Amino acid sequence: MSTLLFIISVVLFQLPFATYQDTIRRFKRMQKYNPDKAFNYELKNGKLSENTLLLFLVFFSGFIIALFPLYKGINLHWLILIISNIICLYLVTPFIAFRLYPSELIYDRKIVLTKTVMYIVFGVIFYVIGNSLK
């Protein structure tokens, strides 16, 4: 049971990175097919890449924090954990984020930051519960 909670915690720590990537992908698609709407979006929200707090949380959560529950849950060699974290971050978690992301919508900067903090908090909760059960 605790292993499952640790895996859920890993996915929750990786979801901010996947949500950020999906937002960037949708914005680039909007720039290609509807440049006026993309200009208005960027004028209203600013560039996502200029928000340093968001970038720090997204990358730190996906690449660093996700390793702790992965180590607690699976307990393999650290190099295998890093490789599996990166594979999961780029190949598995984006599909989950795509299913959670509403179609025909691009999140603004505040929503992406709110969802990032929410996913990290839920990841910490699942990590603490899994740690107390082990």
**pLDDT tens-digit profile, the chain (134 residues):** 889 999 999 999 999 999 999 999 999 999 999 999 989 988 888 888 888 899 999 999 999 999 999 999 888 889 999 999 999 999 999 999 999 999 888 999 999 999 999 999 999 999 999 999 87
pLDDT for the residue numbered 45: 85
DSSP class of residue 107 equals: -
pLDDT for the residue numbered 134: 73
pLDDT for the residue numbered 65: 94
pLDDT for the residue numbered 50: 84
User: What single string gives the DSSP state of each residue in 15-55?
Assistant: HHHHHHHHHHHHHHHHHHH-HHHHHHHHHHH--GGG-HHHH
**Beta carbons within 10 angstroms of residue 23's beta carbon:** 21
Residue type, 134: K
The label of the residue with tokens 């190099």 reads: 79
Give the end-to-end CA distance of the chain in Å, rounded to a whole number: 9
pLDDT for the residue numbered 4: 93
How far apart (Å, rounded) are the C-alpha atoms in residues 134 and 72? Answer: 9
Give the three-state DSSP class for 106: coil
pLDDT for the residue numbered 88: 94
DSSP class of residue 127 equals: H
- Which distant-in-sequence residues (6+ apart) come within 8 Å of 102 by Cβ? none
**Beta carbons within 10 angstroms of residue 30's beta carbon:** 18
DSSP class of residue 102 equals: P
Q: What is the largest CA-CA distance in the chain?
A: 54
How far from the centroid of its chain's Cα atoms is residue 41's Cα? 22
pLDDT for the residue numbered 128: 95
pLDDT for the residue numbered 76: 85
What's the pTM value of the predicted model, to 2 decimals?
A: 0.90
